Structure 1
Amino acid sequence: MTATTIAGTAVPAAGAASGTPEAAAGCGGFEAGRAPRLRADALRNRERIVAAAREMFVESGAQVALDEIARRAGVGNATLYRHFPDREALVHEVVVCVMARITRSAERAAAEEADPFGALRRFTHEAADERIGALCPMLSGTFDHDEPGIAAARDRLEGAVQGLFERAQAAGRMRPDVAVGDLLVALSQLTRPLPGTACPVNDQFVHRHLQLLLDGLEAPARSELPGAPATLEALRQHGRP
């Protein structure tokens, strides 16, 4: 995997995290709470299906044909349906997988970076490579936000990112008039694809624009922000980005 150095932090090149099924696999443990115990070969097939679905949901939206996902994953249709009986089950697994991967990024950054703001910066760029904005269209309609697996993954993610924010603000490295939701909304907007449109050029600007955002979050603040900070509670009340 290649990397790009941004403000002293090495981050994966845009799209690297979701470029291949092998690179995107690895959502075991609590993340795949509904998955049964599987043989090694069956587990690999399941992970390849989830990874391929992530890629194709970003590229074409959540309504992409399931047989196309099976083809991308290198498995037969019967194998896909054996693991995921319907689209809802597959979307659920993809959402939980992406949240789990982002959570691990936040936890690793907190553990490995001495500078609290450097940890937040590293997490932000890694989360962007997961294209978390692609989740938004999948979280509408009949999607069950309170399903136990989803709720557990969401709570762990929010706790990890909240911890990054609190440490950076306590150290005086982040302006005090922002909240976790401000970053999550911006991440969602910058990484939300437009299915069916030919805009690959946009990817090359994601990390550049994120760095501009991060410069604005760093203390000391250069201006007074209008409105109130976007807290996690506010996002829950008014709908997530």
Structure 2
Amino acid sequence: MSIAAETRRPPRPRADALRNRERIVSAAREMFVEFGPDVPLDEIARRAGIGNATLYRHFPDRAVLIREVVLSVLSRTTEQADAAAAEETDPFAALRRFVHVAADERIGALCPMLSGAFDTDHPDLHTGRDRLDAAVRGLVEAAQAAGRMRTDVAVGDLMVALSQLTRPLPGTACPNMDRFVHRHLQLFLDGLEAPARSELPGAAATLEDLRTT
């Protein structure tokens, strides 16, 4: 590579800058789940253990931070879905594993994607959403094909339940709710297993249904 090309290459971010960015995204992911996407940015900076100026240097406005959090959750959750599919021999065990790990990844932070105020047209969001959709659909279809999961549910049903069961109850401060999340998710998973014990009202929800409601 020529010297001129080397001089045109943008400098790599410093290690401490990368750590700060990760701390901000992690803190924002937690607080978006707990308080919603309108939580004050100053509070996010405080939880991340950095100054306000550092937060704004990485994320000049709320929309950029929300998009980065959504991309992070999409990527991390997709990786967990792929790992569960590759490593579990029982397809329903793979689905169960994914559901519990997705809760720990704070998948409830994806709720801004369902808001009309959130710009979902960024190409990275399209890519991340499609990858997660395909990975989770693969888990669901494999479990259904094996006769291990009821067939009257779809990926959207799974994602709605995950988002709802991993968020605190509206209007309450529930700092200890995490200790109940996996218990309630297991009850939900028991309801997904075949044979079905009841008939579900309405139609199965797809991810496209969620984006158009």
Q: Same fold (TM over 0.5)?
A: yes
Q: Does 1:189 align with 2:159?
A: no
Give runs of aligned pairs for residues 50-199 of structure 1, distance below 5 A: 50-137=25-112, 139-194=114-169, 197-199=172-174
SS in 2 for 1:200: coil
> Which residue identity is paired with 1:163?
G
Higher helix proportion (structure 1 or 2): 2
Within the candidate set 10, 13, 18, 1:43 is matched to: 18
SS in 1 for 2:71: helix
Q: What is the root-mean-square deviation of aligned Cα atoms in Å?
A: 2.1
Question: What TM-score do the two structures reach when normalised by structure 1?
Answer: 0.76
Aligned-pair CA distance for 1:88? 1.0
Question: What TM-score do the two structures reach when normalised by structure 2?
Answer: 0.86
Based on CA coordinates, which of the two structures has the bigger radius of gyration?
A: 2
> Which residue identity is paired with 2:147?
G
Q: Structure 2: how far apart are the matches of 1:92 and 1:193?
A: 22
1:152-196 deviation line (CA, Å, top 9, x unaligned): 111111110001011111111112222111111111221223466
Q: Is the 8 A contact 1:181 1:235 kept in 2?
A: yes
1:59-80 deviation line (CA, Å, top 9, x unaligned): 3332222222222222222221
Q: Structure 2: how far apart are the matches of 1:233 and 1:139?
A: 10
Identity of aligned residues (%): 77
> Which residue identity is paired with 1:183?
L
Aligned-pair CA distance for 1:137? 4.7
Aligned-pair CA distance for 1:54? 1.4
Q: Structure 2: how far apart are the matches of 1:141 and 1:178?
A: 25
Aligned length: 203
Q: Structure 2: how far apart are the matches of 1:221 and 1:86?
A: 47
Q: Structure 2: how far apart are the matches of 1:154 and 1:122?
A: 20
Look up the match of 2:205: 230
SS in 2 for 1:100: helix
Uncovered stretches (5+) of structure 1, i.e. residues with no partner: 1-35
> Which residue identity is paired with 2:77?
I
Q: Structure 1: how far apart are the matches of 2:184 and 2:50?
A: 38
1:88-115 deviation line (CA, Å, top 9, x unaligned): 1111111111111111110110111111
